[in-house]
A and B are shown apart, each in its own frame.
Chain A
Amino acid sequence: MTLRESAVGLPRWALVPAGAGALFVVLPLAALVSRVDWTRFGSLITSDASLAALELSLRTSAASTLLCLVFGMPMALVLARSRFVGQDLLRSVVLLPLVLPPVVGGIALLYTFGRRGLLGHALEVAGVQIAFSTIAVVLAQTFVALPFLVVSLEGALRSAGHRYDVVAASLGAGPTTVLFRVTLPLVLPGLLSGAVLAFARALGEFGATITFAGSLQGVTRTLPLEIYLQREADADAAVALSVVLMVVAVVVIAFARRGKGVL
């Protein structure tokens, strides 16, 4: 390990901006933690409103991660394993939510799934009410998290290549068998880290949710929304909940990294 490191060589100057960059990320987080009122911490994060928000966040993020897998896996597959006209354009469109301000996503969702939206009326006729429901939260989270899964998985599929798939196919396996027995097991680390990233992004989703879903305790008020609301009334509660959200996110990301290493 040391041998390999010295052979590559790290330009010394890189340490300075790298350190400054790390400080830039760590300092605000440390400042946040330094502001926690530890004597009230327990009671602040276990209030009814906080627990309801945390529970809703975990539930909706899990649901949206599942949706990301259902839609994102085939999307990544199509993007990585086929060639067609307009593919680059399609890829850009799929990745758009990564760079769009979440509020824009929220407005777009509103005009799609809202009561007067593109699909809203048809959905209402079908008996599905999306406005102000938990479904709206899941849709908002899925919208912003989906590209994370698609990007990770497409990258993994491309770097894995398809030599093994070709071998399996030549031995008589059908495309679906190849996908589930060969391709997916090969890219499992990429798939896992993509799913975890999507989960983490869903957990932090704020702008699209507040624009599209509304904010009601236990129904649509996720942890980020609760933090934003508490900041108005009780800054200490907002800080305490921010730390909770941060810890959950760190645990999730650490889990993803570990999954990568193990697999």
Chain B
Amino acid sequence: MKKKLAGTRVVGALALLAAPLTACASADRDSGDITLVVYAASSLKTTFEQLGEQFEADHPGVDVEFNFAGSSDLVSQIQQGAPVDIFASADIANMDKLAAQDQLGGQAQVFATNTLEIAVPPANPAQIGALADLAKEGVQLVVCAPEVPCGSAARKVESAAGLDWKPVSEEQSVADVLNKVTTGEADAGLVYVTDVKSAGAAVQGIEFPLASEAVNAYPVAPVKGGEQSDLARQFIQLVLGSEGQAVLAAAGFGKP
């Protein structure tokens, strides 16, 4: 008797677990909307969400769905067969990975650029004023690891400046670097202009001329096999057009 009870309980628990899964699957698809799936680099979150709303307003019945993550994560998801209409990368290298495997449904086009800036806590405790200060003794500098795009850009700047800095940490992403600066753990970090802008008063940005040595280009392209190739083309036009460019410029992105 007891055993039987336990059995029903297990079945009941399983049913409870399964219920929300099925419920949410049907809720997503019930509306009959057309869905445009956009995979975009994390740094594009704010701007693309804004453009997505614009696009939805211009195209009634169309849902723009975003997946924001690191570009290389997105590439591996697309390579594993994720259903995607558009891919917007934070660097050319990751877009090239898809092009090399013939997974793009059209030419990739650069729609924005981003450059590095020094970010320091608002009080600037280490009194950083220029790039050379980052190599000073005792400065807790945090940069991206060379394996990720912001890190390779930092490397380029470092060698262009003829400096040899000793970061206390090489982080995974620009967000991690920014976080170490906003919490005051780091005295300085190298992040993108757009990150400084979005962090607002939590950090102070310091421009440096050599940033032009490592300009990061953002390409966008339709993904082969995407279901909405027409809509994808229109969305890319929105990004490349004056409206899209205005939104991107407001966030600190440079012109292509």
Contact = CB atoms under 8 A, between A and B. Distances in A.
Interface of A: 11, 13, 17, 110-111, 114-116, 131-132, 210-211, 213-217, 220-221, 225, 228-233, 235
B175 to A, nearest CB: 11
Contacts of A214: 142, 168-171, 180, 185
Nearest to A213: B169
Contact of A110 (B76, B142, B148, B183): B183
B172 A131 contact: no
A13, A111, A132, A232 — which one has the most chain B CB atoms within 10 A of its CB?
A232
Interface string B42-73: 00000000000000000000000000001010
Indicate the size class of the contact surface on chain B.
20 to 34
B216 interface: no
Contacts of B72: 231-232
A230 B147 contact: yes
Contact of B183 (A116, A220, A230): A116
A182 B198 CA distance: 61
A216 B170 contact: yes
Nearest to A235: B76
B14 to A, nearest CB: 9
Nearest to A9: B3
Given A11-B3, A214-B142, A132 B185 contact: yes
A132 B168 contact: yes
Nearest to A220: B169
Contact of B185 (A13, A17, A110, A233): A110
Interface of B: 3, 7, 10, 70, 72, 76, 140, 142, 145, 147-148, 167-172, 176, 179-180, 183-185
Contact of A132 (B3, B76, B169, B176): B169
Contacts of A220: 169
B183 A132 contact: no
> Counting chain A CB atoms within 10 Å of each CB, which of B70, B76, B169, B170 scores highest?
B169
Contacts of B168: 131-132, 214, 216
Nearest to B71: A232
A73 B183 CA distance: 34
Contacts of A211: 179
A232 B148 contact: yes
A225 B148 CA distance: 13
B172 A115 contact: no
5 contacts: A13-B7, A132-B185, A211-B179, A232-B70, A232-B72
Contacts of A229: 145, 147-148, 172
A17 B7 CA distance: 12
Nearest to A114: B185
A114 to B, nearest CB: 5
A49 B183 CA distance: 28
A136 to B, nearest CB: 10
Contacts of A115: 184-185
A215 B148 CA distance: 13
